[in-house]
Chains A and B, each alone.
Chain A
Amino acid sequence: MRHTLAVLVENNPGVLARVAGLFSRRGFNIDSLAVGRTESPDVSRMTIVVEGDERVLEQVNKQLHKLVDVIKINDITADEYVDRELVLIKVNADPAQRGEVMQIADVFRARIVDLGRKTVTLECTGNDGKINAFEESLRPYGIKELVRTGKIAMLRGTKYTGLQENGD
């Protein structure tokens, strides 16, 4: 099963290497990993999507905890959360097909960020499912290039995954 972990880490150089090394060394499978700053400048947040059964996940959690730079881990898979991912896709679109592509973009609320003579580059944000669906609907036109950021996530309502105590 897939799990989404929100991991708070010290914003130290090398922390990414420590986490990445841990995953490869222990044979854990990363689906995606996104890192960025948080509300406090000395803390970064990694959103890690891992694949594995309960036993594997337990080890992932525990081993991550052993890293001194890891402050807090939340497995939010079972909670209510919003998640987003951004994708950039460059598709074949000669003038004849352009209309269709634009329509698909509309349906997914994607935006056109670049227009070439034979291609269109689109940007779309959304959760996993939406991005996958978007990708699939464009596939028939010929995807020239595609890049995804990996997912980031946040709990809904007054619950926090940050450093502060939970509101409820």
Chain B
Amino acid sequence: MEITAAQALVKCLEKEQVEVIFGYPGGAILDVYDALYHSPIRHVLVRHEQGAVHAADGYARATGKVGVCMATSGPGATNLVTGIANAYMDSIPLVVFTGQVPTSQVGTDAFQEVDITGITIPVTKHNYLVKDAVQLPRIIKNAFHIAATGRPGPVLIDLPRDVAQTRIKFDYPDSVNLRGYKPTYRGHPNKIAEAARLIGSAARPVIYAGGGILNSKASRELLTLAETINAPVTNTFMGLSSFPGDHPLFLGMLGLHGTRAANLAVTNCDLLIALGARFDDRVTGKLAEFAPNATVVHVDIDPAEIGKNVQVHVPIVGDVKQVLRELLSRLEKKQDTSWLEQIEAWKKQYPLVYRRGEGELKPQYVIEKLNEINGGNAVVVTDVGQHQMWVAQYYRFKRPGSLISSGGLGTMGFGLPAAVGAQIGLPGELVILVTGDGSIQMTMQELGTAMEQELPLKIIILNNHVLGMVRQLQQVYCDSRYMAVEFKFHPDFETLARAYGIKSYTLRTEKEVDQLLPEALGSPGPVLVNCLVCAAENVNPIVIAGKAISEAVDC
């Protein structure tokens, strides 16, 4: 029997076991929506397409599955760009569908036509403009494969309206054959052996573990490695939650706002074992003084990451989980006390601190409380800014994948829709969004989606009435000449929550936090907690631009 390509599209998604799609309809994608009408796949109607793509991203991060979203042509498609770029920078698997004007009109500046495949070339792993309906199932098969394998990433499929309406015989391929795309999973045995040798002889090893650990679900192997060789572990921001936050070998995050202990350990190590991390500029600081005395072993699935920013002595291209398993089979238990003693001393000497009890509620206090209340077991989604860094510093993650945050692109407004996606992917779990007063306003309309979908999200606004992170930068780099960072005016977040039928609290003191935060987190439905926190607080320590990470200061 012949069906339309739009119907075939929905069938393909069913075959890929897609459970939920985030989207927003419009003219050019109407046929797909019509086909969805009878499908068992759940469709979540957002309030702005940016919400759809971030929600799909949050869903993917929370579940490890491919996130799917769709939008119409033109503005629907361009509204996805930030979210696609966000997923691309953080290596998140997404398949994105956009409607397009009929093929006969492509290239004529037709109504709601934009060249979305052209626009997204720099921010997708791959993309397709479907010109022949018969190819659609194969393209979808390929898209899911490319998005989810190797270094994951977003793939976009642009579907012209006439193609969607064309009838085809449905046949879903069961294998892919892409001659230009063959990711390497198994590390080279010689290199692994060399790494094992180096580990055996290293006196001051440090494990630097990034988001790749989470991508490859290798947290258990990471823990075994650390405990086998007794090496301290530091996480990148993206790697947080891959290693238990309360483990004695844990150093916390490194880099720009990392702990001094982590930054000192890296600076002084003789062997740096980089696992699924990409030597981001936020991590390395001044390149010449990043791990200056270390031999560097770098395990990454993406060969282009190896040697991109720093020189690597032992490059291992492969899936970090598989590589670690092989590596572990060649390692022996190791115990070197003097290095661990030094690490312990640094940790004692330089703990993360903030000053309490200055009459104002400190944002760090709220995070500590959140951590305390559910013992580091919640899924925490953040927005971008100071509050994000405080979560990274003060929340002790227990479960792999329980931090969901925009690292590479640093997209304000990611938080709320991502939390919507995460909660939909993890229905029974406690999902907490920690956001800022600036960030929440960027995608606030998705409160409507949270309400409509009856999601029991807990939204914590660390409201300092300022674009805090930028204010801090202006304090440091611009002589405190504050420009366009102070909100002269703020909405009343409580009334706003009520407009969406969401319960809300405003907390002003430590006492109110102690009393009401547990109640807020314990309530069954969605809750918005507006914490009025100190505006002048800075994220410390901080590495000033151009300095080495060992030279962090407080400001």
Q: Which of A9, A66, A71 is close to B302, meaning CB atoms less than 8 Å apart?
A: A66
A75 proximity list for chain B (CB < 8 A): none
| A74 at the B interface (CB under 8 A) | no
Does B308 lie at the interface of the complex (its beta carbon under 8 Å from any beta carbon of A)? yes
- In the assembled complex, how far is the CB of residue A43 from the closest CB belonging to chain B, in whole angstroms? 9
B117 at the interface (CB under 8 A from A): yes
The answer to whether B304 touches A62 (Cβ under 8 A) is yes
Q: How far is the CB of B119 from chain A (nearest CB, A)?
A: 11
Which B-chain residue is minimally distant from A67 (CB atoms)? B180
Contact B180 A10 (CB under 8 A): yes
Chain B residues within an 8 Å CB radius of A9: 180
Chain B residues near A25 (CB-CB < 8 A):
122
Give the residues in chain B near A137, CB-CB below 8 Å: none
- Min CB distance A163 to B, Å, is 8
Task: Kindly list chain B residues whose C-beta atoms are within 8 Å of the C-beta of A58.
Answer: 307
Question: Which of the 9-residue segments A13-21, A92-100, A114-122, A154-162 touches chain B?
Answer: A13-21
Residue of B nearest to A20 (CB): B121
Report yes or no: A62 in contact with B303, Cβ–Cβ below 8 A: yes
Chain B CB within 8 A of A1 CB: no
Q: Do A71 and B180 touch across chains, with their CB atoms under 8 A apart?
A: yes
Cβ A14 vs Cβ B304 within 8 A: no
Q: Is the CB of A14 within 8 A of B117?
A: yes
Q: Is B118 an interface residue (CB 8 A)?
A: yes
| Also in contact, A17 and B303, with CB within 8 A (given A59-B308, A67-B180, A68-B181) | no
A17 touches B118 (CB 8 A): yes
Q: Is B178 engaged at the interface, CB distance under 8 Å to the other chain?
A: yes
**Interface membership of B43, Cβ < 8 A:** no
Q: Do A21 and B302 touch (CB < 8 A)? A: no
Binary interface profile of B, 8-41, with partner A (CB < 8 Å = 1, else 0)?
0000000000000000000000000000000000
Kindly state the separation between the CA atoms of A69 and B121 in the bound complex, as whole angstroms. 12
Q: Which residues of A contact B302 (CB under 8 A)?
A: 66
Residue of A nearest to B305 (CB): A62
- B511 close to chain A: CB less than 8 A: no
Q: B121 to chain A: which residues have CB within 8 Å?
A: 14, 17-18, 21
Chain B nearest CB: distance from A23 CB in Å?
12
Residue on A with the closest CB to B150?
A: A66
Please, how many angstroms separate the alpha-carbon atoms of A166 and B263 in the complex?
Answer: 49
> How many positions in chain A have a CB within 8 Å of any CB in the partner chain?
20
Contacts of B181 in A (CB 8 A): 68
Check if B304 sits within 8 Å of A59, measured CB to CB: yes
* B146 interface hit (Cβ, 8 Å): yes
The contact of A68 among B117, B180, B307, by CB within 8 Å, is: B180
B348 beta carbon closer than 8 Å to chain A: no
A25 (CB) vs chain B CBs: closest residue: B122
Q: How far is the CB of A15 from chain B (nearest CB, A)?
A: 10
Neighbouring A residues of B126 by C-beta, 8 Å: 67-69
Cβ-based interface call for A103 (8 A): no
Q: Are A55 and B129 in contact (CB under 8 A)?
A: no
A65 to B303, CA, bound (A): 9
Instruction: Give chain B nearest CB distance to A101 CB in angstroms.
Output: 45
Query: A62 vs B303: C-alpha distance in the bound complex, in angstroms?
Result: 6
Q: Which residues of the other chain, A, contact B308 by a CB distance below 8 angstroms?
A: 59
Residues of B within 8 A of A46 (CB): none
* A70 CB within 8 Å of chain B: yes
Report yes or no: B129 in contact with A14, Cβ–Cβ below 8 A: yes
Within 8 A of B (CB), among A54-82: 55, 58-59, 62-63, 65-71
CB–CB B304/A69 < 8 A: no
Q: Are B304 and A65 in contact (CB under 8 A)?
A: yes
| Shortest Cβ distance from residue B512 to the other chain A in the assembled complex, whole angstroms | 50
Which residues, 36 to 61 on A, are CB-close (under 8 Å) to B? 55, 58-59
* Across-interface contacts of A55 in B (CB, < 8 A): 307
> Which B residues are in CB contact (< 8 Å) with A59?
304, 307-308
The answer to whether B179 has its CB under 8 Å from any CB of chain A is: yes
In the complex, A14 Cα to B173 Cα: how many Å?
A: 25
- B272-312 contacts to A, CB under 8 A, are 302-304, 307-308
Q: Bound complex: CA of A118 vs CA of B343, how far in Å?
A: 82
Bound CA span A13–B121, Å: 13
B386 CB to nearest A CB, Å:
31
By the criterion CB–CB under 8 Å, are A69 and B180 in contact?
A: yes
Contact present for A21 and B129 (CB under 8 Å): no
Q: Are B304 and A66 in contact (CB under 8 A)?
A: yes
A70's closest neighbor in chain B, by CB?
A: B180
Contacts of B122 in A (CB 8 A): 21, 25
Inter-chain CA distance A68–B128, complex, in Å, is 11
* Distance between B104 CB and nearest chain A CB, rounded to angstroms: 16
Cα separation A55 to B146 with both chains bound (whole Å) = 27
Inter-chain CA distance A70–B303, complex, in Å, is 15
Contacts of B304 in A (CB 8 A): 59, 62-63, 65-66
- Chain B residue with Cβ nearest A63: B304
In angstroms, Cα B435 to Cα A88, docked, is: 63
Identify the interface centre among A21, A66, A70: most chain B CB within 10 Å of its CB: A66
Q: Determine how close the nearest CB of chain B comes to the CB of A96; give it in whole angstroms.
A: 52
For residue A24, which residue of chain B has the nearest CB?
A: B122
Whole-angstrom distance between the alpha carbons of A61 and B512 in the complex? 58
Interface string of A112-134 (1 = CB under 8 A from B): 00000000000000000000000
With CB as the reference atom, state the residue of chain A lying closest to B304.
Answer: A62
| CA–CA, A59 and B122, complex, Å | 16
8 extra interface residue pairs, beta carbon distance < 8 Å, beyond A14-B117, A65-B303, A68-B178 = A10-B180, A14-B121, A14-B129, A59-B308, A66-B304, A68-B126, A69-B126, A70-B180
Cβ-closest 8 pairs across A and B: A62-B304, A68-B126, A71-B180, A68-B181, A62-B303, A21-B121, A71-B179, A70-B180
Query: Can you show 29 pairs from A to B with CB atoms below 8 A apart?
Result: A10-B179, A14-B117, A14-B118, A14-B121, A17-B118, A17-B121, A18-B121, A25-B122, A55-B307, A58-B307, A59-B304, A59-B307, A62-B303, A63-B304, A65-B303, A65-B304, A66-B125, A66-B302, A67-B126, A67-B180, A68-B126, A68-B146, A68-B180, A68-B181, A69-B126, A69-B180, A70-B180, A71-B179, A71-B180
